[in-house]
Amino acid sequence: MALLQISEPGMSAAPHEHRLAVGIDLGTTNSLVATVRSGTPAVLPDSLGRPLLPSVVRYQADGKVEVGYAAQAKQAIDPRNTIASVKRFMGRGLKDVAHVESAPYDFVDAPGMVQLRTAAGIKSPVEISSEILKVLRARAELSLQGNISGAVITVPAYFDEAQRQATKDAGRLAGLNVLRLLNEPTAAAIAYGLENASEGIYAVYDLGGGTFDLSILKLSRGVFEVVATSGDSMLGGDDFDQRLFCWAVEKAKLPPLGARDMRLLQMKAREAKEYLTFHGEAPLTAKLSGGEVVDLSIDSETFCSITQTLVGKTLGPVRKALRDAGLAVEDIKGVVMVGGATRMPQVQRAVAEFFRRDPLNNLDPDKVVALGAAMQANVLAGNKPQGEDWLLLDVIPLSLGIETMGGLAEKIIARNTTIPAAKAQEFTTFKDGQTGMSFHVVQGERELVADCRSLARFELKGIPPMAAGAARIRVTFQVDADGLLHVAAKENSSGVEASVAVKPSYGLADADIERMLRDSFEHAKEDMHARALSEYRVDGQRLLEATRSAVSVDGALLRPEERKEIEHKIAELEKLLGGKDARAIKQALDALNRATEEFAQRRMDHGIRRALSGKMIGSL
């Protein structure tokens, strides 16, 4: 790949061990874990050789948890405690969940995020998702024979802040070091683009079990630049099952069904849908608990017509993304199909018709996201040699803003802005002598706050009393590389400040997560102190390597006394690394980090100058 050769500031010049990093596709229907081994990405199967893990979790009264095929098999027997498609509930309140009436769960409405009552107690979608992640983590650790140093977890590009944060928390709860949240279509584009050495503008059409994403990317010389993304986080293969289920209920003139029958018939609907991908007609039969027998048959024409509106619904976001990117259908070089639901012939046809070209199906639509995530995890873990890696430039899917007078949403960062991004805007007081201000952070495209998603509220107090409109309050939005938002407000004259990291509430505070993590490690007979110690040692070793390499490359940017200070802190950290005092190591780590702050800025500055001078950095 014709990438500019650059020095890797975060990496050691000396050869270091290969870090075990995985990519995880936490899907609505199925989840997968993949890694890069000897330069090739591969999905890690379970002990029976099965690559997919059905995203189904079953809670039993004795606290035992079943995940995957075992849980899936019990869906119809124990529907209330067997949670499928939990991804649909991530970061969602009860009112946002579609098809609540036909979901066989005992929902508990909680502020921020819905919860589910099971035989093992009330569970949040974050906890349920973490059970899936734990199984994948164990699978990877067994298969790779070692501890996972980091994971990239994929999320639908159209996931909002609350859904992203919930996913990251689920990763943390599963004991994973989440290196990055990666958008699913972007992950697919990496896998596809690198496999085929593609250049040009591509669209990724990703119809998963519960979400739809459409991303447009520009692929050029090892840079994957997302130009626009759009989608519907409440549209997926599940909705096709649901249509078929409703069709069957109506056709067979069934009375309102109990949870078991409902689940059974939904499973049969899914089977029929999958059968129709390769056949003109599918049987839909089931024996209900009351003894009635449903004996139906559906042909592909009928299935197409009852799902036509769903297919049509995906094209709105496609047009929107094209408009946002300022592109026409002719500009698109290829359309990569991702997600199991794109196997349906009517979806393939609709996409081919819209883009006036055959979609690209040469990668397994179930695996491509996990493979791309594994490739990105490998880069983030620092396993790629210099000059062989690529760069990913992604965007936020939805505009971020703040509520102003009259319930209007003022956009601060527009959708499709490349991340990380920051933007500041000044606001002022409404009343004379106003000393406090409350901020309401929202996400969405609509003008009225009521139509946007509420993300967080916080207050700024201690504004000096002034005439209305005289105070200047600067509000800064910062979105990091995971697409997560941090908001800060500052009054200019007094310097009073307030800030908030946008986090969804789902009955679990940070402290709860810590406690649950601790408990789970105690269960596993892992010593917390030993774990902390080993983590700090790894961090410390990493920082030592990185700092030494930085000093050897760019030592010229340091004044002698600065260099002495850094070397002193290096020596101190190194001395402690061999010992057993976790806290002392952490302190030395922090001290070295602080001592290199100015140096880091200077190196960045210098790096930009080098980039602009157009020289091959390797030769400097």
Partner 1 sequence: MSAAAGKALTSSRLQSHFELFGLPPAFALNKEALEKAYREIQSQVHPDRFAHAGDAERRASMQWTTRVNEAYRVLKSPVQRARHILELHGVDVAFETNTQMPTDFLLQQLELREELEAALQKKDGSLLDALKKSLREQKQLLESEIGNAIDQRQNYEEAAGPVRKLMFLDRLDAEIDEAYEEIE
Per-residue interface string for the shown chain with partner 1, residues 135-174, x marking contact by CB under 8 A: ---------------x------------------------
**Binding window for partner 1 (CB under 8 A); candidates: 364-372, 415-423, 457-465, 520-528:** 415-423
Min separation Cβ 422 and partner 1, Å? 5
CA 152 to chain centre: 8
Query: How far apart (Å, rounded) are the C-alpha atoms in residues 490 and 467?
Result: 18
Question: By CB under 8 A, is residue 179 in contact with partner 1?
Answer: yes
- The catalytic residues are 25, 87, 184, 206
* Of the candidate residues 297, 305, 418, 493, the single one contacting partner 1 (CB under 8 A): 418
- Tally of CB atoms within 10 A around 448: 13
Q: 528-554 and 510-523 helices cross at what angle (nearest 10)?
A: 110
How many chain residues are in contact with partner 1, going by CB under 8 A? Answer: 68
Question: By CB under 8 A, is residue 176 in contact with partner 1?
Answer: no
Q: Which of residues 189-228 bind partner 1 (CB under 8 A)?
A: 220-221, 223
Q: What DSSP letter does each residue of 351-416 carry, written as one string?
A: HHHHHTSPPB--S-TTTHHHHHHHHHHHHHTT-SPTTS--EEE-B-SS-EEEEETTTEEEEEE-TT
Question: By CB under 8 A, is residue 535 in contact with partner 1?
Answer: no
Q: Of 505, 488, 506, nearest to 497 (Cα)?
A: 488
Per-residue interface string for the shown chain with partner 1, residues 564-593, x marking contact by CB under 8 A: --------------------------x-xx
Question: By CB under 8 A, is residue 524 in contact with partner 1?
Answer: no
Structure tokens at 209: 């079990």
Sole residue written with tokens 């500055």: 605
Side by side, which strands form the sheet with 121-123?
106-108, 115-118, 121-123
Question: Residue 6 or 532: which CB sits closer to partner 1?
Answer: 6
Query: How far apart (Å, rounded) are the C-alpha atoms in residues 231 and 228?
Result: 10
Question: Residue 11 or 370: which CB sits closer to partner 1?
Answer: 11
Question: Residue 218 or 251: which CB sits closer to partner 1?
Answer: 218
Burial per residue of 331-348, b for 16 or more beta-carbon CB atoms within 10 angstroms, e otherwise: ebebbbbbbbbbbbebbb
Min separation Cβ 223 and partner 1, Å? 5
Min separation Cβ 396 and partner 1, Å? 11
Give the Å distances, CA to CA, from 495 to 488, 528, 546.
12, 41, 36
Q: What are phi and psi of 77, to 5 degrees?
A: -80, -40
Question: Residue 324 or 512: which CB sits closer to partner 1?
Answer: 324
Question: Residue 356 or 609: which CB sits closer to partner 1?
Answer: 609
Per-residue interface string for the shown chain with partner 1, residues 465-494, x marking contact by CB under 8 A: -------------x-xx-------------
Structure tokens at 221: 């010389």
Question: By CB under 8 A, is residue 384 in contact with partner 1?
Answer: no
Q: Which of residues 315-354 bind partner 1 (CB under 8 A)?
A: 316, 319-320, 323-324
Angle at the Cα of 392 (from 192 to 206), degrees rounded to 5? 45
Question: Residue 34 or 76: which CB sits closer to partner 1?
Answer: 34
- Contact (Cβ atoms closer than 8 angstroms) between residue 188 and residue 338: yes
Phi-psi region of 458 (alpha: psi -120 to 50; beta: other; left: phi over 0): beta
**Binding window for partner 1 (CB under 8 A); candidates: 52-60, 65-73, 260-268, 552-560:** 552-560
**Binding window for partner 1 (CB under 8 A); candidates: 89-97, 275-283, 374-382, 399-407:** 374-382
Q: Which residues bind partner 1 (CB under 8 A)?
A: 3-4, 6, 8-11, 19, 150, 179-180, 220-221, 223, 316, 319-320, 323-324, 376, 379-382, 391-393, 417-423, 478, 480-481, 542-543, 546-547, 550, 556-559, 562, 590, 592-594, 596-608, 610-612, 614
